[in-house]
């Protein structure tokens, strides 16, 4: 079941078309990556989902029905632009924001105590926001984003401002939230995080959805004609036996084991590669080299822009 569906969303600001016929479907219980270059339209789509602005065309469904105003209480949103009041004390502001999410004062204090202890920030309660570093303020915003146990969490560049240790802490918290039943949408430029965390992705470029689907299937569909092999034998004999349709791109030998990369120039003949090697070497491992999400991101955006005469 999809917890969120946007259908044929269009949004224009004066002469700028920010979103052009964008549709996404976010499966319940998934981590969904919303990717794209700066200015592609990701933040505009997030603001429409959060009812900060409305679409000019198209529709948004939440839990299988048209989204209603009070669905906002089932969503937690951490924007890229942070919005804490610098002169307020941390505890006072966290309590205020938790109450805005519909919690009673008693429940808000109870949950804030739990999260402040979990994030090891108990000593910040009486500090003013302006006394905190960017990363410390980020922790406070993360807490008030998740405090009301929303069904859908939306994080826009959630790791921005964090050192590696705290970025890993937030990553693990997001994974725990998913484990406990939440659905997560996050927008990021960190492709390593996408590969590590996301189940599905949508890539928006120049206001259009140009790629969507489960991340594993996308990576497999962009599989290259390069194969990685572990071999035991004379690599020069392997090179000689490959013939003109195959190219030994690289190899490293350690303790008699050769790690080699071979490119197949005629992709339809990739299944013959093993037959070329077996007579001269023992094959210990064989797999297709699967491109990273970063490589796919660059390739798809460049191909789209070239096909449409865009820069």
Query: Under CATH, which number does the domain 2-220 receive?
Result: 3.40.50.300
Q: Give the chain's mean pLDDT.
A: 92
Average pLDDT of span 168-175: 94
Domain 224-288 has CATH 3.30.70.1150: yes
Average pLDDT of span 102-116: 96
pLDDT at res. 269: 59
Q: Taking 80 as the threshold, does the pLDDT of residue 252 lie above it?
A: yes
Q: Where in the chain is the domain with CATH 3.40.50.300?
A: 2-220
The pTM (predicted TM-score) of the whole model is 0.85
The more confidently predicted of residues 265 and 146 is 146
pLDDT at res. 192: 84
Phi, psi of 284 (to 5 degrees): -100, -25
The more confidently predicted of residues 275 and 7 is 7
Q: With contact defined as beta carbons under 8 Å apart, do 297 and 203 qualify?
A: yes
Q: What is the DSSP string of 102-151?
A: T--HHHHHHHHHHHHHHTT-GGGTTSBGGGS-HHHHHHHHHHHHHTT--S
Q: Where in the chain is the domain with CATH 3.30.70.1150?
A: 224-288
Using one digit for the tens of pLDDT, what is the confidence trace for 176-229?
999 999 999 999 888 888 999 999 999 999 999 999 999 999 988 888 788 999
pLDDT at res. 288: 86
Using one digit for the tens of pLDDT, what is the confidence trace for 42-97?
999 999 999 999 999 999 999 999 999 999 999 999 987 767 899 999 999 999 99
pLDDT at res. 26: 98
Cα distance between residue 298 and residue 294, in whole Å: 6
């Amino acid at each position: 079941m999809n917890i969120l569906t946007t259908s044929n969303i269009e949004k224009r600001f004066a002469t700028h078309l920010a979103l052009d016929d964008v549709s996404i479907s976010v499966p319940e219980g998934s981590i969904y990556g919303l990717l794209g270059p700066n200015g592609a339209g990701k933040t505009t789509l997030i603001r429409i989902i959060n009812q900060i602005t409305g679409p000019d065309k198209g529709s948004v469904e939440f839990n299988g029905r048209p989204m209603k105003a009070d669905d906002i209480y089932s969503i937690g949103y951490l924007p890229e632009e942070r919005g804490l009041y610098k002169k307020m004390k941390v505890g006072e502001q966290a309590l205020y924001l938790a109450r805005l999410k519909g919690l009673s004062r008693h429940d808000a204090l109870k949950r804030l105590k739990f999260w402040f202890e979990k994030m090891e920030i108990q000593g910040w309660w009486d500090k003013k926001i302006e006394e905190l570093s960017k990363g410390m303020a980020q922790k406070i915003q993360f807490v008030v984003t998740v405090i009301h146990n929303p069904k859908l969490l939306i994080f826009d560049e959630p790791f921005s401002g964090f050192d590696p240790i705290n970025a890993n802490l937030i990553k693990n918290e997001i994974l725990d939230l998913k484990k406990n039943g939440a659905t997560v949408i996050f927008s990021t430029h960190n492709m390593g995080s996408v590969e590590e965390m996301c189940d599905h992705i949508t890539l928006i470029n120049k206001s259009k959805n140009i790629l969507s689907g489960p991340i594993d299937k996308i990576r497999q569909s962009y599989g290259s004609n390069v194969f990685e092999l572990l071999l035991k034998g004379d690599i020069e004999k392997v090179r000689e036996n490959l013939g003109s349709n195959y190219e030994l791109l690289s190899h490293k030998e350690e303790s008699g084991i050769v790690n080699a990369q071979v490119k197949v120039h005629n992709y339809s003949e990739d299944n013959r590669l093993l037959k070329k090697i077996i007579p001269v070497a023992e094959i210990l491992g064989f797999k297709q080299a699967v491109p990273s999400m970063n490589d796919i991101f660059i390739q798809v955006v460049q191909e789209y822009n070239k096909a449409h005469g865009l820069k």
